[in-house]
Structure 1
Amino acid sequence: MHTDTERCVRAVRSKDARFDGWFFTAVLTTRIYCRPSCPVVPPKVENMTFLPSAAACQQAGFRACKRCRPDTSPGSPQWNARADSVARAMRLIADGVVDREGVAGLAARLGYSARQIERQLLAELGAGPLALARSQRAQTARLLIETTGLPMAEVAFAAGFSSIRTFNDTVREVFGLAPGELRTRAARGSGPAATPGVIALRLPYRAPLNPSNLFGHLAATAVPGVEEWRDGAYRRTLTLPHGHGIVSLTPRPGHIACRLLLTDPRDLTQAISRCRWLLDLDADPVAVDEQLRADPLLAPLVDEAPGRRVPRTVDGAEFAVRAVLGQQVSTAAARTHAARLVTAHGTPVDDPEGGLTHLFPTPQALAGLDPEALALPRTRRTTLTTLVAALADDSLRLGTDTDWERARAELTALPGFGPWTVEVIAMRALGDPDAFLPTDLGIRRAAAQLGLPATPAALTARATHWRPWRAYAVQYLWTVDDHPINHLPA
């Protein structure tokens, strides 16, 4: 979008927050870059240039505006709506892969050479993988500086910097302030001191956001010990690269309040990325709702409660296991089966603020489970153990870098994986915005009540007009039934 100068200028002049994260405004006279909704008076058109990413702005020598803090904009929605190599690379960079495995590791995961990935990212984002990762490290450092009392040396290494000098130089260059000055400014405007060890921050999103189905679904399907709804917040444990964490997510006007308790602060970037992915916070609800509203039978559902998101997961392998446990049983029964697995094979954790007790077991931890110990039909046991074996030996990967169609084919080849299971994994674990569940009982009931076609084939044909947002159409159709997944818990 950044190449459409006229459209960008209109967005800046109207301070349209819908475009935050889509592009950035760099001011040639001040050498500052802003989000489109920056509250300051817009500069003259001839003094503006538009760039596709914060990293491109920083690489071109612009520093972040201290007023609108463009580095905290929601992510571009296009990375979650696409499955090409650039989109998959951006999701992996957000998950910290470059910091952990380098550019070579990023390229290997995508099946390209490092030079190919560099060229593709430069062409679309104006910055290569190292510059994009550096921009992300700077934002992580800022969060740690402003929300914790960690010594600066610990902040530097937790954010992924290789030296104190690089950390200091990057923070000054990106934010126009030294690390100590950032902390002093944050302390002047802060409220009560945070609980020691807890990182409290705001997760931005594009309005509107309807929390009812998003948090209602997560709370209704929560696995005891791993997830809970407590005091108006969804809480869960997280398995992270350097340790584990506990997150509390609370819907607020204009943002999601996030509280993170991490065993290793180096996991902050990954924890934030997974929480944003879980809640689908980088979606563009205006574009989604506009497309679905064009169908006269869906329009009343969209108008009644716009801004529905697709509830996802923090771990694709975990969700796949839970999807198998939930085949042809009630939500309560699925939770019971999952809780038994957690108690028997999950890693215990301490939760000082609630009732969480375990991490969900990894595929490797489940690889040796005794099928006879599972209170499931024999065919379901085979489905589960086959899935776990494929996940454990890495022959099946269900991550942010996974190719959606390849994953569908690999899942379909496993015993016991029908269209519903494959598509619900594509929707919630892989994040495919066009995943569709025409055989789902709730969808078929909704179709009957709304006058949509009754058979899966006919409904799929009708749903062609909803593409590429059929996963969001599913969220609206599910609201036709009065089910706990559609409501915030009391």
Structure 2
Amino acid sequence: MYTDTDRCVRAVQSKDARFDGWFFTAVRTTGIYCRPSCPAVPPKVENMTFLPSAAACQQAGFRACKRCRPDTSPGSPEWNARADAVARAMRLIQDGVVDREGVPGLAARLGYSTRQVERQLNAELGAGPLALARAQRAQTARLLIETSGLPMGDVAFAAGFSSIRTFNETVREVFALAPGELRLRAEKANRHVPRVPGTISLRLPYRAPLNPENLFGHLAATAVPGVEEWRAGAYRRTLRLPYGTGVVALSPRPDHIGCQLALTDLRDLTIAISRCRWMLDLDADPEAVDEQLRADPLLAPLVDKAPGRRVPRTVDAAEFAVRAVLGQQVSTAAARTHAARLVAAHGEPVADPDPEGGLTHLFPSPQALTALDPRSLALPASRRTTLTTLVGALADGSLPLGIDSDWEAARARLNELPGFGPWTTEVIAMRALGDPDAFLPSDLGVRRAAKELGLPSTPAALTARAAGWRPWRAYAVQYLWATDAHPVNHLPV
């Protein structure tokens, strides 16, 4: 989009927040870069230049605007709507892979050489993987500076910097303020905001509209006891992270998602934020999705009634795959019961930082589940075989599932496993892998809703009709599910 100058200029002059994260406006005369919705007076057109990423702006010598804070804008919706190498690379960078494994580790996961990855990212984003990771470290540092009382040395290493000097230089270069000055400004602005000891409180931005009903309703209604809960207006769950564990509380607000994180190792902050944003589908472009779905006259009333539905995802693809098998052909309550038994027997205990909370365990890893006795499962023999085969494939790495997965390759591998039909494969593609075009034409709720709306209700006919909804069929499923009175479609009281 950043190459369409006229469109970018119109977005900046109208301060259109829908384009935040799509591109950034760099101003040659001031050396500042902004998000399109910056409240400042728009610069002259001849002084604007448009760049595809904050990293590209920083690499070109521009610093972040202090008013609109472009480094905290929602991410580009492209990276979660595409399955090519660049999109997969961006999802991995956001998940902290470059900081943990370096550029060679990123390239190995993608199946490319480091030179190919560098070339593709520079061509599309104007910055290579190191620059993109550096921009992310700067944003993490800012969050820790402004939301915690940690000493600056601890902030530097938690954000992923290799030295205090690099940390200080980067913060000054990107934000035009020293770390101490950033903290002082934040303390003055938030002096009346209570700080919960041991937690990091932040706001997760999104593109409006966002309908929280099915998003939080689904997460709450399917919550596994001990791992997840809905309490005091927030969805809470435990997190397994690269360096330690965490507990997050997420609550819907009119213009953001409130997020409280308690981490055993602050180096996991970037990854935890990325996974929470992924789970809540916060980088989606609801305007584009809803416009496409409104083109179907039978679907349009559902979209107009409650626009901005997101696809509820997961923080752990392997966990969701196991839960999908447990949920085959049983009720939501039965699936929760089966999952809770696995958690009690094989989950790793954790301490809930909230004394009134009910979180007790991490969901068991595939490696831990290889020790389970299939006879202990209150499941049909065929389902036991499906589960143990899945767990084995996840544990030995022959079935890699994650945000970087090739969607079609993952589908093909899942379909090779015993007991995996179209419904299980597609629900994993939708909620664990994040494919926005995953579709469930055989799902009972989808078929029932389709029949009530006058849409074809047989899987083959519905799939043919849904061709017009592509590439957003996963979102169409959310609108169809919403016609049911099931608890997954409503915020808990």
TM-score bracket relative to the smaller structure: over 0.9
How far residue 241 of structure 1 moved from its aligned partner, in angstroms, is 0.3
- What residue in structure 2 maps to residue 208 of structure 1? 209
Task: Specify which of 442, 457, 468 is matched with residue 439 of structure 1.
Answer: 442
Letter matched to residue 451 of structure 1: G
| Aligned positions of 1:296-335 closer than 5 A | 296-335=297-336
How far residue 363 of structure 1 moved from its aligned partner, in angstroms, is 0.2
- What's the CA shift string for 1:347-393, capped at 9, x where partnerless? 01111311100000000000111111111110000000000000000
| Aligned positions of 1:104-183 closer than 5 A | 104-183=104-183
| Aligned positions of 1:357-372 closer than 5 A | 357-372=360-375
How far residue 479 of structure 1 moved from its aligned partner, in angstroms, is 1.1
Distance 1:184 1:306 in 2: 40
Unaligned runs of 5+ in 1: none
- What residue in structure 2 maps to residue 30 of structure 1? 30
How far residue 195 of structure 1 moved from its aligned partner, in angstroms, is 1.4
Distance 1:10 1:290 in 2: 20
- What residue in structure 1 maps to residue 457 of structure 2? 454
- What residue in structure 2 maps to residue 349 of structure 1? 350
Letter matched to residue 42 of structure 2: P
Letter matched to residue 463 of structure 1: A
Distance 1:367 1:128 in 2: 39
| Aligned positions of 1:187-202 closer than 5 A | 187-190=187-190, 191-202=192-203
State whether structure 2 residue 465 is matched by structure 1 residue 489: no
- What residue in structure 2 maps to residue 224 of structure 1? 225
Distance 1:44 1:454 in 2: 55
- What residue in structure 2 maps to residue 275 of structure 1? 276
Report the secondary structure of 1:333's partner residue: helix
Distance 1:30 1:91 in 2: 32
Distance 2:193 2:292 in 1: 44
- What residue in structure 1 maps to residue 429 of structure 2? 426
- What residue in structure 2 maps to residue 72 of structure 1? 72
Distance 1:488 1:37 in 2: 30
User: Do the aligned residues in 1 keep the contact of 2:262 with 2:353 (CA within 8 Å)?
Assistant: no
Unaligned runs of 5+ in 2: none
How far residue 300 of structure 1 moved from its aligned partner, in angstroms, is 0.3
Distance 2:121 2:483 in 1: 42
- What's the CA shift string for 1:410-455, capped at 9, x where partnerless? 0000000000000000000000000000000000100110011121
Distance 1:163 1:373 in 2: 51
How far residue 197 of structure 1 moved from its aligned partner, in angstroms, is 1.2
How far residue 213 of structure 1 moved from its aligned partner, in angstroms, is 0.3
Distance 1:332 1:200 in 2: 32
Distance 1:192 1:480 in 2: 39
Letter matched to residue 263 of structure 1: T
Report the secondary structure of 1:309's partner residue: coil
- What residue in structure 2 maps to residue 286 of structure 1? 287
- What's the CA shift string for 1:53-76, capped at 9, x where partnerless? 000000000000000000000000
Distance 1:291 1:217 in 2: 24
- What's the CA shift string for 1:135-188, capped at 9, x where partnerless? 000000000000001100000000000000000000000000000000000000
Report the secondary structure of 1:384's partner residue: helix
- What residue in structure 2 maps to residue 391 of structure 1? 394
Distance 1:390 1:192 in 2: 47
- What's the CA shift string for 1:398-418, capped at 9, x where partnerless? 101100000000000000000
Report the secondary structure of 1:86's partner residue: helix
- What's the CA shift string for 1:84-137, capped at 9, x where partnerless? 000000000000000000000000000000000000000000000000000000
- What's the CA shift string for 1:33-68, capped at 9, x where partnerless? 000000000000000000000000000000000000
- What residue in structure 1 maps to residue 478 of structure 2? 475
RMSD: 0.5
How far residue 481 of structure 1 moved from its aligned partner, in angstroms, is 1.2
Greater alpha carbon shift after TM alignment, 448-457 vs 121-130: 448-457
How far residue 192 of structure 1 moved from its aligned partner, in angstroms, is 3.1
Letter matched to residue 265 of structure 2: D
Letter matched to residue 386 of structure 1: T
Per the normalisation by structure 2, the TM-score is 0.99
How far residue 203 of structure 1 moved from its aligned partner, in angstroms, is 0.1
Distance 1:309 1:260 in 2: 22
Report the secondary structure of 2:492's partner residue: coil
Report the secondary structure of 1:217's partner residue: helix
- What residue in structure 1 maps to residue 57 of structure 2? 57
- What's the CA shift string for 1:187-242, capped at 9, x where partnerless? 00103341121000000000000000000000000000000000000000000000
Letter matched to residue 481 of structure 2: W
Report the secondary structure of 2:467's partner residue: helix
Distance 2:277 2:368 in 1: 27
Letter matched to residue 51 of structure 1: L
How far residue 252 of structure 1 moved from its aligned partner, in angstroms, is 0.2
Q: Which of structure 1's runs of 4+ aligned residues deviate more than 3 A? A: none
Work out the number of aligned pairs and report it. 490
How far residue 480 of structure 1 moved from its aligned partner, in angstroms, is 1.3
- What residue in structure 2 maps to residue 81 of structure 1? 81
Report the secondary structure of 1:201's partner residue: strand
Letter matched to residue 218 of structure 2: H
Report the secondary structure of 2:283's partner residue: coil
- What's the CA shift string for 1:221-276, capped at 9, x where partnerless? 00000000000000000000000000000000110000000000000000000000
Report the secondary structure of 2:203's partner residue: strand
Letter matched to residue 91 of structure 2: R
Report the secondary structure of 2:200's partner residue: strand
Distance 1:421 1:305 in 2: 27
Distance 1:34 1:301 in 2: 35
Distance 2:291 2:166 in 1: 45
Distance 1:444 1:54 in 2: 43
Distance 1:440 1:192 in 2: 46
Letter matched to residue 71 of structure 2: D
- What residue in structure 2 maps to residue 414 of structure 1? 417
Letter matched to residue 103 of structure 1: V
Distance 2:450 2:155 in 1: 53
Distance 1:102 1:140 in 2: 18
Letter matched to residue 421 of structure 2: G
